[in-house]
Amino acid sequence: MRLSVLRHHGEDEPGLLAAAFATAGFELELHDGAGTGPLPDPEATDAVVVLGSVWSVYDRSAVGGWIDAELDWLRDLDRRGVAVLGVCFGAQALAAAHGGAVEPAPRKEIGWVELDPGTPDPPGRGPWFEWHGDRCVPPPGAEVLASNEVAVQAFRVGRHLAVQFHPEVDRAQLARWIANGGGSQLRADGVDPDELMELTAGHEAAAAVRAERLVEAFLAGAGSPNQSRVPPCRAG
Query: So which residues are the catalytic ones?
Result: 88, 166, 168
Q: Which residues of 53-69 are buried (b: 16+ CB within 10 A; e: fewer)?
A: bbbbbeeeeebeeebee
Cis, bond preceding 232 (omega within 30 deg of 0): no
Among 139, 144, 128, which residue's Cα sits nearest to residue 200?
128
CB 97 within 8 A of CB 79: no
Longest dimension (CA), the chain: 46
**Burial class of residue 122 in the structure, from the number of CB atoms within 10 Å of its CB (0-12 exposed, 13-18 middle, 19+ buried):** buried
CB 69 within 8 A of CB 40: no
